[in-house]
Amino acid sequence: MLNAVLFDLDNTLIDRDQAFRDCVCHHFGDPAVRAELFRLDSGGHGDREGLFCAWWRHTGASMNQVILGRLIAERIRPDCGLLNALRVLSQTLKLGIITNGGSEIQRRKFCAAGLSEVIPHECVWVSAEVGMEKPDPAIFIFASQSLGVNPGNCLYLGDHEPDDLAGAVAAGMQARLVGAVLDAERLNVVMAQEPMP
């Protein structure tokens, strides 16, 4: 029986990659530079130091995870359809978010997307705050215990197989990978699918 749905944040509930692309296109006109930065970023899983060095090399301005996170958060907007679908889901299931990253930036993105209207702040587990990060099963177990739900009665939805699927399954949760950032329609489709074994 399913009692809770837990989500990844970046590229699952928010389009982090589109926000990053918008940010790069705003700051850089040269297509070769843009391509270099997209490659180094690799969907947020790439070479952070290489990305920051390249940014500095092309602009002369320093860059770090906090500055980049703020630039990305500024470009995130609420998806009203998704928020409504989450509200409907929250009427029968507990909802939460498990995300890797720094506290300030992940919570800034969470609020910018309007998710704080649907998911309580205390149901967002950020790796920097809890001292564990995906794919460690411990962060998934910690979240389910915080909700008062057995891991086997939780479904985890994420976009990154090594962190999201592997960690959730190792924790005993049901898990599904999303093929694209969720909107209302995709959320309904994903919820109707069979969980990954």
Residue 9 belongs to a domain with what CATH number? 3.40.50.1000
Integer Cα distance of 96 and 153 in angstroms: 13
**CA–CA distance from 121 to each of 32, 45, 94, 114 (Å)?**
40, 25, 13, 12
Percent of the chain with pLDDT over 90: 94
Q: How many domains does the chain have?
A: 2
Residues 57 and 154 in one domain: no
Integer Cα distance of 40 and 35 in angstroms: 9
How many CA atoms does the CB half-sphere of 59 hold within 13 Å? 17
Residues 91 and 49 in one domain: no
Encode pLDDT of 85-110 as tens digits. 999 999 999 999 999 999 999 999 99
Encode pLDDT of 13-35 as tens digits. 999 999 999 999 999 999 999 99
Domain boundary among 50, 73, 96: 73
Range of the domain at 186: 4-15+77-192
Helix (H, G, I), strand (E, B) or coil at 156: strand
pTM over 0.85: yes
Q: Is 147 a domain residue?
A: yes
Encode pLDDT of 41-81 as tens digits. 999 999 999 999 999 999 999 999 999 999 999 999 999 99
Q: Is 197 a domain residue?
A: no
Residues 48 and 82 in one domain: no
